[in-house]
Structure 1
Amino acid sequence: MNSSVEKASRKWPCSGSACGEWPMVVVAAALLTFCSPAAPAEAARKSGQAPWSDLFGDSRSKARRAALPAPVPLPKPRPADAPPTGSDKPAAGEQTPAEADKAAEQAAPAPPPPTACRLALTEEIAIAPSIPDIHGVGGCGGEDLVRLEAVVLRDKRLVSVKPAAILRCAMASAIADWIRADMAPLAASLGSVVSDLDNFDSFECRGRNRVVGARLSEHGRANALDVRALKLANGQSISLTDRTVPRELRERVLYSVCARFSTVLGPGSDGYHEDHIHLDLMERRNNYKICQWNVWDPLPQIAPLLPAERPEEAPPREVAAKSDAAKSDTPEPAAGETRPPTKPPTKKRRQSQRF
């Protein structure tokens, strides 16, 4: 049968890649498939099926497949709790994380053992938890510090320290003993109990009397406490520098603090302690103590604006007026006569009150 391109184009109409490119691609793929036996063998091996060459008994494909090594299975992942192997062991001089943590704990300084004061200052005496040591600028701070929150009386009542005072253990213990042994009986004599201690100042890194350049105050060493008043449960307040408080009561407080503390400063000491009492345990040579607190007398009553009433034993005003007129009628002495000298009135020296 005779045919030509023109006839074929009339019989099967096509254009572009449909008649030129795609037939060539299909023919090339078929040739590569039938001429390369390794490709289908590899594809069959991956899919788990026998290659076409095995089906047709191709000896060369069988020999090539036998020469290929069998696939090696991968190992399972190592369990996390498996013991370390030689490759996991640290090099010489290195430590495992567990050993490093243990060495750090051993290298950290152990806390110092509690002092005798800390062991004695139990919760039956005071609520005073320990706080870390303070090492500030210029020697401020100290060791064996506590935060004195309350003093426990013998009947388990609490005397709150408001606000809580930062003190050395020895100073806190002295304050607790003073409240328990001296101030509690004083309050009992007034028919009440101590409820609060008015803390004016405790630990503060500063110079004496807050003067710039002055020596470090005992407040800067957490070794001092400023007290303004003691409050009682019945609402009464014993203000230590209030002149309206009975003098005898303030003197009893004076005697008690001067017997217990090495430094007591109050009104009349240096002008800086007119409204509170300073207490500390400063160590001096030969246990020298300073007690400077003037317990002033009550203030004198203010004179009334109106004059005082006329005494009953005073003479009537008419008699007083006649006596004054009689004195004016006395004749003057004649020439050459002298009037007897009158004794000048004595001036009474006014005694000054000292406070």
Structure 2
Amino acid sequence: MRKLHLTLRRLVLLGGALILLFLGYAWLRQRPQDLPWTDLDLAQPVGLFTGRKLAALTNDAPRCKALLDRAGVDHVAMKPGGADQCAYADAVRLRPEAGAITLAPASVAPSCPVVAAFKLWEWQVVQPAAQRIYGQPVRTIRHFGSYSCRRMYGRSQGDYSEHATADAIDIAAFVLKDGRQISVLNDWKGQGKDAAFLRAARDGACDLFSTVLSPDYNAAHRDHFHLDQAERGATGWRACR
């Protein structure tokens, strides 16, 4: 009798596990962005593997540009430039679009994977946070540039920065629709709306970029967010500070 009870108990537990597995699979099928083997779609919400898929675009410029086209992102592909450790071949420049955030200066041309992540950041993170906190959208994002042929931290030796291949952009400030500016340098500290917005923007970027560095990282980033799409992000090795 005891063996029968144990058998029945195991069958009940197994049945419960199978039901949970089925329900979990059914839920995941409704969220392809949470599965590692599904294709990236910029129209979908941010999922568990969105960041990895974005980083994987570093070695697939045609696919990246096709994703931008499919999402309706108005852009122009730039000619390859640079040389050796500072060569780039997938830079794109965003064209002004009605209702979209503009970059200032507008001439910046990051790599396609950075632009793809930037647009998702705009749609899924920055604008929702601005509407929630300020009741209005962001009109412009000011930056310190993307491409720069240099090593990390400006050193004379060591690894090259992701800026050397246009795989990074440094974000300095956000300008709201009414003209109000929220800057990383002046508004990061504190407990008010501006600090809350900047932290929401930083935290949301961590799901989309391989590396996100803010004033919490070191003094060199006291006035900007460093966002990059290093190849290592495709394997899940990410940095968020």
TM-score (norm 2): 0.66
Three-state SS of the structure 2 residue aligned to 1:143 is coil
Distance across 2 between alignment mates of 1:263 and 1:211: 19
Distance across 2 between alignment mates of 1:160 and 1:260: 19
Q: Do the aligned partners of 1:125 and 1:176 also contact (CA within 8 Å) in 2?
A: no
Label 1:193 to 1:123 Cα distance change in 2 as closer, same or farther (>3 A): farther
Is 1:268 the equivalent of 2:216?
yes
Higher helix share: 2
The residue aligned with 2:197 is: 249
| One-letter amino acid of the counterpart of residue 290, structure 1 | A
The residue aligned with 1:115 is: 62
Alignment of structure 1 residues 275-314 onto 2, 5 Å = 275-284=223-232, 286-292=235-241
| One-letter amino acid of the counterpart of residue 66, structure 2 | L
Distance across 1 between alignment mates of 2:114 and 2:165: 11
Distance across 2 between alignment mates of 1:161 and 1:123: 21
What is the CA distance between 1:148 and its match in structure 2?
2.8
The residue aligned with 2:26 is: none
% identity of equivalent residues: 28
What is the CA distance between 1:147 and its match in structure 2?
1.7
Label 1:125 to 1:187 Cα distance change in 2 as closer, same or farther (>3 A): farther
Distance across 2 between alignment mates of 1:218 and 1:207: 8
Is 1:240 the equivalent of 2:181?
no
Query: Any idea what the Cα deviations from partners look like across 1:118-147, whole Å, max 9, x if unmatched?
Result: 1221396433201111241x4112222212
Q: Do the aligned partners of 2:148 and 2:163 also contact (CA within 8 Å) in 1?
A: yes
Aligned residues between the structures: 175
Of 127, 137, 140, the match for 1:193: 137
What is the CA distance between 1:149 and its match in structure 2?
4.2
| One-letter amino acid of the counterpart of residue 81, structure 2 | I
| One-letter amino acid of the counterpart of residue 100, structure 2 | L
Query: Any idea what the Cα deviations from partners look like across 1:226-274, whole Å, max 9, x if unmatched?
Result: 0011111112222234225533323212220111111111113232111
Is 1:143 the equivalent of 2:89?
yes
| One-letter amino acid of the counterpart of residue 173, structure 2 | A
The residue aligned with 2:100 is: 158
Structure 1, 244-253 or 168-177: larger mean CA deviation: 244-253
The residue aligned with 1:132 is: 79
The residue aligned with 1:209 is: 153
Three-state SS of the structure 1 residue aligned to 2:165 is coil
Three-state SS of the structure 2 residue aligned to 1:197 is strand
Q: Do the aligned partners of 1:127 and 1:148 also contact (CA within 8 Å) in 2?
A: yes
Structure 1, 161-170 or 115-124: larger mean CA deviation: 115-124
Distance across 2 between alignment mates of 1:268 and 1:178: 20
Gapped runs of 5+ residues in structure 1?
Answer: 1-113, 293-355
Gapped runs of 5+ residues in structure 2?
Answer: 1-60
RMSD of equivalent CA atoms: 2.3
Q: Do the aligned partners of 2:184 and 2:222 also contact (CA within 8 Å) in 1?
A: no
The residue aligned with 1:321 is: none
Distance across 2 between alignment mates of 1:226 and 1:249: 17
Distance across 1 between alignment mates of 2:154 and 2:173: 22
Of 159, 162, 167, the match for 2:110: 167
Label 1:223 to 1:177 Cα distance change in 2 as closer, same or farther (>3 A): same
Distance across 2 between alignment mates of 1:194 and 1:279: 18
| One-letter amino acid of the counterpart of residue 113, structure 2 | A
The residue aligned with 1:221 is: 165
Greater C-alpha radius of gyration:
1
Label 1:268 to 1:187 Cα distance change in 2 as closer, same or farther (>3 A): closer
| One-letter amino acid of the counterpart of residue 120, structure 2 | D
Label 1:195 to 1:171 Cα distance change in 2 as closer, same or farther (>3 A): same
Query: Any idea what the Cα deviations from partners look like across 1:38-86, whole Å, max 9, x if unmatched?
Result: xxxxxxxxxxxxxxxxxxxxxxxxxxxxxxxxxxxxxxxxxxxxxxxxx
Q: Do the aligned partners of 1:148 and 1:167 also contact (CA within 8 Å) in 2?
A: no
| One-letter amino acid of the counterpart of residue 110, structure 2 | L
Distance across 1 between alignment mates of 2:62 and 2:110: 15
Query: Any idea what the Cα deviations from partners look like across 1:74-107, whole Å, max 9, x if unmatched?
Result: xxxxxxxxxxxxxxxxxxxxxxxxxxxxxxxxxx
Query: Any idea what the Cα deviations from partners look like across 1:209-241, whole Å, max 9, x if unmatched?
Result: 212223211000110010011111112222234
